[in-house]
Chain A
Amino acid sequence: GQNIDQPTEMTATEGAIVQINCTYQTSGFNGLFWYQQHAGEAPTFLSYNVLDGLEEKGRFSSFLSRSKGYSYLLLKELQMKDSASYLCAVRWILTGGGNKLTFGTGTQLKVEL
């Protein structure tokens, strides 16, 4: 299978830091993406990891450990507008060639005052 697990909901305070975890099955792994999706809108690309380590982009950072099948998205200096669903998506290599992107069900983040 190609299961992706991430928490359903998280709540954090404005100005704080929050870490959203994602675990996946490692067989055939070929890259991990994080997307942000506000209610009723399309997902927006945030980050891409294919090698181990931390990728930093302003207030957002994403970490990957391929051996552990684990990633996290770190959001710093939280703002109210960061309230959204955060989707972890893993790309797998298909046995017949090509690849496939599978999305987790998303983590609904609520930022409170």
Chain B
Amino acid sequence: EAGVTQSPTHLIKTRGQQVTLRCSPISGHTSVYWYQQALGLGLQFLLWYDEGEERNRGNFPPRFSGRQFPNYSSELNVNALELEDSALYLCASSFRGVPTDTQYFGPGTRLTVL
């Protein structure tokens, strides 16, 4: 069974640009979560999508946004990039139909903002 996939693997952008990151969940999973992990810091929760709807949002400015498609894949958009947006962006998926609702992570997208 394929795991969570993310694209691209690496990305280099300059300040002020916009970026779109993509995530495909494990087959059968309906929830997708986005996290930011800056160098040396813990995972910071960004967004949670379930069944196509945004369910919860972390303490990030509105220039971080996303969506979930009918096939449960998801996009994370970051507008007006700033240097401090440089980080590993991790996507996770889960199946909320089981009590554990464990999140499984993709390999991440390494974003560098110059």
Q: Which residues of A contact B (CB under 8 A)?
A: 31, 33, 35, 40-45, 48, 50, 87, 91, 94, 98-106
Q: How large is the interface on B (under 10, 10 to 19, 20 to 34, 35 or more residues)?
A: 20 to 34
Contact assessment for B105 and A100 in the assembled complex, using a CB-CB cutoff below 8 Å? no
- CB-CB < 8 A to A103: which residues of B? 35, 42-43, 45
Q: Are B100 and A105 in contact (CB under 8 A)?
A: no
- Total number of A-B contacts with CB less than 8 angstroms? 46
Q: Which of A33, A87, A94, A105 contacts B56 (CB 8 A)?
A: A94
Q: Which residues of B contact A105 (CB under 8 A)?
A: 41-42
Residue interface bits B74-114, CB-to-A below 8 A is 1, else 0: 00000000000000101000000001111111111000000
Q: Which residues of B contact A87 (CB under 8 A)?
A: 42-43
Q: Is the CB of B108 within 8 A of A42?
A: yes
Q: When chains A and B are docked, how far (Å) is the Cα of A102 from the Cα of B56? A: 13
Can you pick out 21 interface pairs between chain A and chain B where the beta carbons lie within 8 Å of each other? Answer: A31-B100, A33-B103, A35-B105, A40-B88, A43-B90, A45-B103, A45-B104, A48-B100, A87-B43, A94-B56, A98-B55, A98-B56, A100-B56, A101-B103, A102-B45, A103-B42, A103-B43, A103-B45, A104-B42, A105-B41, A105-B42
